[in-house]
Amino acid sequence: MERIWGGDQLRRVLGKAVPDGKIIGESWMIADHAEHTSVVKEGPFSGCTLHQLMEKDRIGLLGANAATTGDGRFPLLLKLIDAAEDLSIQVHPDDELAERLGEPDSGKTEMWHVLGMEGDSRILLGLQAGVTREVLEKCLLEGGDVAGFMHSFPVWGGESFFVAAGTAHAIGGGALLAEIQQNSNITYRLYDYNRRDKNGNLRELHVDKGLSALRFEDEEECPAEPLCLETSGALREFLAACRYFAAEKVFPGGGRLYADRGKSFHILLSLEEIITLEGNGGICSLPRGEAALVPASMPDWQVMGQGAYLDYYVPNLYEDIIVPLRQHGYAGHRIAQLGGNSRENDLATEVATKNMHS
């Protein structure tokens, strides 16, 4: 996807084929959206779009934990983001607000994992304590830079950031990220550095909608603290978890077996070197920077190789996140932080509920 702030790390770092003369800021790796849909490369459904697969066997693809979007599409979208310049300071609505405003997509909660960085790249995430709607609105209407009202973090490779709907945020120039998100392309720009598009026009801002979407009462945001456990020789780093998705970084240690048929699909993104997926009599090689979608109906399958990869799926928060982490000795408050610092943290609610009934 062309973006005014795009860079060239997708080509230089990940070896992506980028059209000459195009400024590419996003690569939509796994997508079923009106703006783009992924196409199957290999196997019996080669040439089919993800949307066509959804129409053929929605239940087999999604599993029991996942549900379609309101218009029957795949629930998640995986992007690679290559930012040569700072992105706008922006916010995404939650599901309720998106529906109330008549938006074509759902709300958008997302999570970033830093694949690389160049220069003094930073992440802006969340408003500082004491910033009110009145103060922020005055600054925005006067055309002021609101970055000073936000928490700022240096970007380091391997870090993760959970971005709940309603959280003000911006990706700094020089960052190369993997982003998993709800399948939505709704963004409200609050401030854009007076940047002009290719036609010389100031890019549109969405101050009124953005202020309606913002949450001013949330706790201080910070990079996620991964929680680690070992499963049959594979090291799993839990990076984030909410009702929409969970994210793990997996070091397979030669092999990671999956035996959760029927629960959720898995989206895998290879991070370092070639990994191999084996299952149902088939083999698929996944080079660095490439993604695969494994349907929920797949019988037992495994990932072979030494390279790390990201694993995204739709969890049962109690069975898939809380139980295994508690069994490895993690306290409830540490598990809950995987759901971010929003007051509507799904995981914190689930932890508290289970504590009451334990």
Spell out a b/e string for 330-349, using b for 16 or more CB atoms within 10 Å of the CB, else e.
bebeebbbbbbbbebbbbbe
Q: Rounded to the nearest 5 degrees, what angle is found at the Cα of 111, between the Cα atoms of 109 and 114?
A: 155
189 an active-site residue?
Answer: yes
Residue 187: closest CA among 11, 325, 26? 26
Exactly one of 189, 236, 256, 288 is catalytic; name it: 189
Residue 262: closest CA among 317, 303, 301? 301
Residues near 319 by beta carbon (within 8 Å), at least 6 away in sequence? none
Tokens encoding 336: 């809950």
- For residue 148, the one-letter residue type is G
Contact 179, 30 (CB under 8 A): no
Tokens encoding 162: 């959970």
Distance CA 131, CA 134 (A): 8
Distance CA 137, CA 146 (A): 10
Catalytic amino acids?
A: 189
